[in-house]
A and B are shown apart, each in its own frame.
Chain A
Amino acid sequence: MTAGERAGATPVLELVDVRKCFGDDVVLQGVSLTVPEHSVTVLIGASGSGKSTLLRCINQLERVDDGLILFDGQDVCDPRADVDDIRQRIGIVFQSFNLFPHMRVIDNITLALRKVHGVGKDEAEARALELLGRFSLADKAQQYPDRLSGGQQQRVAIVRALAVQPRLMLFDEVTSALDPVLVNEVLSAVRELRSEGMTMVIATHEMGFATQVADEVCFLAGGVIHERGTPEQVIDDPQDPDTREFLRRVREAGRL
């Protein structure tokens, strides 16, 4: 299946002319994006180009200044929308893991299941263990996060977000704090999700990874999407001068 074949159905996520300012600083100026079900959209661009802000707006961690963010057809920016309800259906994984250090891995994962979704303790733990097993973390369930490597912590963070069976997963530079070996184990986890058909929006600096998993790649600069298309179009054969310049510098740095 390609993105085109799915275009008929309501996309999981649709952004229309989203604008976000911090004071006088316009971080996003009219960003539009369509994320169909089971597709993976990858955002690339330099630090400060607005990738993280875009993800934070989708999850309503930031309030947008204009535009529409439709999640399953519902405008999440509507002041009357139930933010908690929307967030329950969107999983987000951060650059800095943000695991709760005072809880064991299993409790980190079952917290939302039990307290928000009202799942019983036994069922929640069974579900958590099943997920941990799939990401080869079964033996870490009883450990505290500080006993784990960065890669393991990040995979636990992914499992924590997945446990509540979200409709959409957001990844905010999830490998930026990891060394190259650990990067790979986290990226494998994301690839695994893709093969299961999870709908995802991913901000990343890993161009090779973007090429592998993306259905659509968007290049952001100065709060605007300069170029979008398949990885082959955007990363291998960019047309926009800014995209070319960005990718040339990435290559120079040996990251592609």
Chain B
Amino acid sequence: MTQTPSTGPAGSPAGPVWVPSEAELGRRRIRKAQDRRRALVAAVSSFVVIGGLVLVVGTSQGWPVVQETFFNVQYGWEILPLLLEAFRLNLVLWVIAAVAIGVLSMLLALTRTSTSAALAPLRFLATVYVDVFRGTPLLLVIYLIGFGIPALQLTDRPIPVVVLGTTAVIITYAAYVAEVIRSGILSVHPSQRAAARSLGLSQVQTLRYVVLPQALRRVVPPLLNDLVALLKDVGLISVLGVVEVIRQAQILTSKSFNFTPYVVASILFLVVTIPLTRLTDRVLERTIARQNAQGSA
């Protein structure tokens, strides 16, 4: 049996400098070897899979044509400024919609989780709202609002379709997001509410200082998820004739008979969504770590 250099008898302060024993050094060697083997397996399997894909696609009969019509680098660079300009509209609408959705969904969630008798009719309306807009396809809502509201002839000058389309997106997304926030509020344990009320905090104060901070922290990951989805769905308002990036790519493609604009547009979306997705993952890991820390004794 291996003996470690003694850290001194019981009660010795902090102890002398610790030297790893032979057994521990052996274990470290084994772990290192295991890590190396794992890394090797990962490298080999990645190489086989990626290499195989490249081989299959690259040697296929149609590849030269596909490369020319989808991945034309020179054409891609030429049209990039046009697509970027159009993508700016997506980004602006995205930010505006996100803020509006945040406010509207919070109001809906608070209304739906309220318990006071006076708010009963509002609660009913909020429930109906969520039921209707969560259950209707976004595209239909865009059509209905985009073509229906102008038909009412409410104003002398027509309302811009960008505004109508974005409104449709906001209305639909608010229903989704309200449900996420509501589930967060309901997930806060009743004992937290009881503790706050027993300190003399009012209903509203309890919500503001105790329930909501915990609820929102819990739903940050799904909310970030919705934020990514929102960026992609804002583009749907192109059906009303708004020239955002997807529509712009469509126009370019129909002129050049080359699909590279679609690929470039996809890349533009990915440039924004991938960092956001990574952020979501990080936030999720942190949330879980915090919850686990609370659980341990």
User: What residues of chain A have their CB less than 8 Å away from a CB belonging to chain B?
Assistant: 16-17, 19, 26, 29-30, 52, 65-68, 75, 77-80, 95-96, 173, 224-227, 240, 242
B1 / chain A contacts, CB cutoff of 8 Å: 16, 68
Q: Are B15 and A29 in contact (CB under 8 A)?
A: yes
- A-contacting 9-mer, from B6-14, B134-142, B250-258: B6-14
14 other A-B residue contacts (CB within 8 Å) besides A75-B23, A78-B30, A224-B12: A16-B1, A16-B2, A17-B6, A19-B4, A19-B7, A30-B6, A65-B20, A66-B23, A66-B24, A67-B4, A68-B2, A68-B23, A173-B297, A224-B11
CB closest chain-B residue, reference A68: B23
Cβ contact of A66, chosen from B10, B11, B15, B20, cutoff 8 A: B20
Sorting the interface of chain B by its residue count into under 10, 10 to 19, 20 to 34 or 35 or more gives: 20 to 34
Cβ contact of B11, chosen from A16, A173, A226, cutoff 8 A: A226
Q: Are A17 and B11 in contact (CB under 8 A)?
A: no
Q: Are A77 and B27 in contact (CB under 8 A)?
A: yes
What are the 6 closest A-B residue pairs judged by CB atoms, nearest first? A17-B4, A66-B24, A30-B7, A79-B30, A226-B10, A79-B31
B9 nearest CB across to chain A (Å): 9
B10 / chain A contacts, CB cutoff of 8 Å: 224-227, 240
Alpha-carbon separation in the docked complex, A138 to B24 (Å): 47
Report B1-41 CB contacts with A as 1/0, cut-off 8 Å.
11110110011100100101101100100110010000000
B2 / chain A contacts, CB cutoff of 8 Å: 16, 68
User: What residues of chain B have their CB less than 8 Å away from a CB belonging to chain A?
Assistant: 1-4, 6-7, 10-12, 15, 18, 20-21, 23-24, 27, 30-31, 34, 295, 297
B30 / chain A contacts, CB cutoff of 8 Å: 78-80
B7 / chain A contacts, CB cutoff of 8 Å: 17, 19, 29-30
CB closest chain-A residue, reference B15: A29
Alpha-carbon separation in the docked complex, A227 to B9 (Å): 11
Q: Are B24 and A96 in contact (CB under 8 A)?
A: no
Q: Is the interface of A mostly helix, strand, loop or mixed?
A: strand
Q: Is the interface of B mostly helix, strand, loop or mixed?
A: loop
A17 / chain B contacts, CB cutoff of 8 Å: 3-4, 6-7, 21
Alpha-carbon separation in the docked complex, A67 to B27 (Å): 10
CB closest chain-A residue, reference B4: A17
Q: Contacts A52-B297, A66-B20, A242-B11; is A79 near B34 (CB within 8 Å)?
A: yes
Alpha-carbon separation in the docked complex, A75 to B26 (Å): 12
Q: Are B24 and A67 in contact (CB under 8 A)?
A: yes
B212 nearest CB across to chain A (Å): 26
Q: Are A19 and B3 in contact (CB under 8 A)?
A: no
Alpha-carbon separation in the docked complex, A26 to B14 (Å): 9
CB closest chain-B residue, reference A176: B297
Q: Contacts A17-B4, A79-B27; is A67 near B11 (CB within 8 Å)?
A: no
CB closest chain-B residue, reference A222: B11
CB closest chain-B residue, reference A64: B24
B15 / chain A contacts, CB cutoff of 8 Å: 26, 29-30
B24 nearest CB across to chain A (Å): 4
Alpha-carbon separation in the docked complex, A163 to B27 (Å): 33
Alpha-carbon separation in the docked complex, A125 to B261 (Å): 64
A44 nearest CB across to chain B (Å): 14
A77 / chain B contacts, CB cutoff of 8 Å: 23, 27
A52 / chain B contacts, CB cutoff of 8 Å: 297
A26 / chain B contacts, CB cutoff of 8 Å: 15
CB pairs A–B below 8 angstroms (26 shown): A16-B2, A17-B4, A19-B4, A19-B18, A26-B15, A29-B18, A30-B6, A66-B18, A66-B23, A66-B24, A67-B4, A67-B21, A67-B23, A67-B24, A68-B1, A68-B2, A75-B23, A77-B27, A78-B27, A78-B30, A79-B27, A79-B30, A96-B297, A224-B10, A226-B11, A227-B10
CB closest chain-B residue, reference A242: B11
B34 / chain A contacts, CB cutoff of 8 Å: 79
B18 / chain A contacts, CB cutoff of 8 Å: 19, 29, 66
